Structure 1
Amino acid sequence: MAVEYVRFQSATSDERGQFKGVFGLVNNLARDGRLTAEQNRFRSENNAWYDAAYTDPSTVDSSVYDPAVNAGATAWFKPSASHLIERVAGYLEILAAHGVDCHAVKSTDPGRVIYEDDVQIVVIPHVC
């Protein structure tokens, strides 16, 4: 049976043709000063929780998200990451409140795996 990975990403691509992930979308709103105090508190507390709960791939391999080495690299949750996926709902609520469309994408083959641990993979997406 094939493993189905999930990624939460923007509905539209950016200027480089990439679909920004849920955490990046919320962090961009924070950088732009658009979050309410409550939303920013949620973001800060939950970002810290995620940082403690699982490995940032770039701390293992600094080239993982380097666009010169791994252009378009994206992270996907494994099905075993249900405890991580549960908290995404709060981020999605923040995005919806700001009119930012973000949705779940599922795939059994999202791309060439360049990093993997027990809860996630980072891939270079297949070129269509």
Structure 2
Amino acid sequence: MAAHTLRDEGDLTSDEHLELREALSWFNEQLFVPRVLERLEHRRAISWFKPAAEDAIRRMWHLKYLLDRHGHHVEVLRTSEPGSVVYEDDWQLIAKPRKGQRFW
């Protein structure tokens, strides 16, 4: 959401604007958004990158730095206990936190 806000409302240079558009396009093209997320009971689900998603993780770090430079703080979270898995593929795992489970 912060990336879209920055794209639409941020004070970006033309190079930064292009960089952001390319990053968002890459994620939209490369990451599958499963239909299971449309279900109301999965509204709290969180998507986590798996270690094998090296390219996606590298690109996400780059996006984080761009957002940070423009005042949009991005917290990086890691866990070995993501909660109840509702979807998984080669790059990502989507899970609902267990009751009372917090990551921040």
Whether TM exceeds 0.5 here: the answer is yes
In the alignment, the residues of structure 2 paired with residue 100 and residue 49 of structure 1 have an alpha-carbon distance, to the nearest angstrom, of 20
The structure where helix makes up a greater share of residues is: 2
The answer to whether the Cα contact below 8 Å between 1:65 and 1:73 also exists between their aligned partners in 2 is: no
Structure 2: 5+ residue stretches without partners: none
Return the structure number with greater strand share.
1
CA gap of 1:30–1:44, structure 2 versus 1, over 3 A, is same
Alignment correspondent of 2:55: 83
The more displaced of 45-54 and 96-105 is 45-54
Counterparts of 1:92-111 in structure 2, within 5 Å, are 92-111=64-83
- 8 Å Cα contact 2:3/2:67 also seen in 1: yes
Taking the aligned partners of 2:43 and 2:32, their CA distance within structure 1 comes to: 21
**In 2: Cα distance, 1:65 partner to 1:44 partner:** 25
The percentage of aligned residue pairs carrying the same residue is: 24
Query: Which ranges in structure 1 are unaligned for 5 or more consecutive residues?
Result: 1-23
Offset at residue 65 of structure 1 (A):
4.5
Corresponding residue of 1:34: 10
> Considering only aligned residues, what root-mean-square deviation do their CA atoms show, in Å?
1.8
Give, in angstroms, the shift of residue 103 of structure 1.
2.2
Which residue identity lines up with residue 32 of structure 2 in the other structure?
T
Does structure 1 residue 69 correspond to structure 2 residue 41?
yes
Query: When the two structures are superposed, what TM-score results if normalisation uses the length of structure 2?
Result: 0.80
Higher RCO by CA contacts (8 Å cutoff, separation 6 or greater)? 1
Q: Which residue of 1 aligns with 2:99?
A: 127
Structure 1 residues 26 and 43: CA distance shift in structure 2, 3 A: same
Q: Scaled by the length of structure 1, what TM-score is found?
A: 0.67
